[in-house]
């Protein structure tokens, strides 16, 4: 565990900080543009809209509740998951470790918003005609990429382990 802090701490910390910073910059930009334009719709096109929406649920607006109790419960649950992810980073190496770092950076960005704004600003809206994907933000992109890398790395490890048998 202490080797982690000696060898890789600054690289890992800078990566998490960069993800958090990119998320904050994009969210602050969209929020400020929304206020100055007096509209939540900042950019509209055939396939991509930049439209500010406040998400009180978890990823992609799932489990959005009006009740404060549920919101606070979900926030505490997210904090516990972030702590678990942090300790998983300390124990893992390679692709799995960096996928967890991507997840941690994104999760911290969204947690910041939950705590300071009471909701997470989502603004990236991909759509084809009337079919819209979930509206998301930069933190969600890093979380999703981290999860995809983790899943792929599990398949690679499993495939390698099975080939050795």
Task: Please report which residue ranges of 57-137 form alpha helices under DSSP H.
Answer: 68-91, 94-117
- Any catalytic annotation for residue 122? yes
23, 113, 122, 125: which is the annotated catalytic residue? 122
Which residue is it, tokens 């910390």? 13
23, 113, 125, 140: which is the annotated catalytic residue? 140
Nearest in space to 34 (alpha carbons), one of 48, 20, 54: 54
Collect all residues with Cβ–Cβ distance below 8 Å to 140 and sequence separation of at least 6: 59, 60, 106, 110, 122
Active site residues: 122, 140
């Amino acid at each position: 565990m202490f080797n982690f802090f000696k060898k890789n701490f600054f690289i890992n910390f800078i990566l998490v900080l960069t993800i958090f910073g990119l998320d904050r910059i994009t969210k602050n930009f969209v929020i400020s543009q929304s206020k100055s334009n007096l509209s939540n719709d900042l950019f509209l096109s055939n396939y991509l809209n930049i439209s500010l929406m406040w998400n009180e649920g978890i990823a992609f607006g799932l489990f959005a509740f009006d009740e404060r109790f549920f919101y606070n419960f979900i926030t505490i649950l997210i904090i516990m998951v972030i702590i678990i992810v942090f300790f998983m980073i300390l124990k893992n190496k390679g692709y799995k470790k960096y996928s967890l770092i991507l997840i941690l950076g994104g999760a911290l960005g969204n947690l910041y918003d939950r705590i300071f704004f009471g909701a997470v600003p989502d603004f990236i809206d991909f759509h084809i005609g009337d079919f819209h994907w979930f509206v998301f933000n930069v933190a969600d992109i890093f979380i999703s990429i981290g999860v995809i890398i983790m899943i792929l790395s599990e398949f690679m490890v499993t495939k390698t382990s099975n080939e050795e048998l």
